[in-house]
Amino acid sequence: MAEIIVVTSGKGGVGKTTTSASIACGLARRGKKVAVIDFDVGLRNLDLIMGCERRVVYDFVNVTTGEATLKQALIKDKRFDNLYVLAASQTRDKDALTKEGVEKVLNDLSADGFDFIVCDSPAGIEKGAFLAMYFADQAIVVVNPEVSSVRDSDRILGLLDSKTRRAESDGEPIKANLLLTRYNPQRVETGEMLSINDVEEVLGLKTLGVIPESGDVLNASNKGEPVILDLESPAGQAYDDTVGRLLGEDRPLRFTTLEKKGFFSKLFGG
């Protein structure tokens, strides 16, 4: 059976699609067979970040409505033979997805030998977000370390606990992990940004990863290359650490504290 991971948040613009793309690539790089699905019907950004936007012929909605087969709609990644993208529709509205249609796609992917299915959720609590989380086995809750993002994510945790298949059937709860993005230790030090402990305390979640604030993320997205593929970048390294922890590896958190300046750098203003 495939492990279904939903990447979710209460607030838009926190880095869900960047995270979905990087997690999927990181798992594929470790030899796992992975499908990553864009649930954001009407907008569709995952294919841009994955660099396959020109190859989209059929989309997720086409498959759920029977207008195309899953095989026709899945796009094989150009970097990893074991990674596939299922794009969202840009021309349908958010009610185009149905619970039955989504369930069939997930079951078919599982039957086809996929190890992981990564569901890239739209922000908020509308239908696409509900369907992205409904069948999940675990959730990665993406949060910026600021108050409104944390508050909105708390609402998402309530839905994960009450409005999913596992909750309705009294099954094991969905395992939720915290992923902090755009983290800046200097701003934490000056009190402009919440600390890791602050966010963990409010949400009651354990931190899976901390992604430092970095221009490399935007540059990678503009090139259609998930930032995890740039292992020179602190953000790429932090995403790779995150995937390692997801698979049970023991990785220390990096890029979370201010570097102490040495004597000479203080003396010469370095």
List C-alpha distances in Å: 136 to 117, 173, 206.
Answer: 9, 10, 18
Is 124 annotated among the ligand-binding residues? no
**CA quadruple 10, 236, 20, 173: dihedral sign:** negative
Contacts of residue 262, Cβ cutoff 8 Å, sequence gap at least 6? none
- The span from the CA of 46 to the CA of 20, in Å, is 8
Please tell me whether 13 is known to bind a ligand.
yes
- 224 labelled as ligand-binding? no
Please indicate if the annotation marks 260 as binding a ligand.
no
Is 14 labeled as ligand-binding? Answer: yes
Flag whether 12 is marked binding. Answer: yes
Chain centre distance of CA 165 = 20
Q: Tell me which amino acid residue 260 is.
A: K
What Rg do the C-alpha atoms of the chain give, in angstroms?
A: 19
Q: Tokens standing for 187?
A: 């701003």
User: Does 15 show up as a binding residue in the annotation?
Assistant: yes
CA dist 84 and 105 (Å) reads 13
113 annotated as a binding-site residue: no
Annotated binding site for ATP: 11-18
Residues of the binding site = 11-18
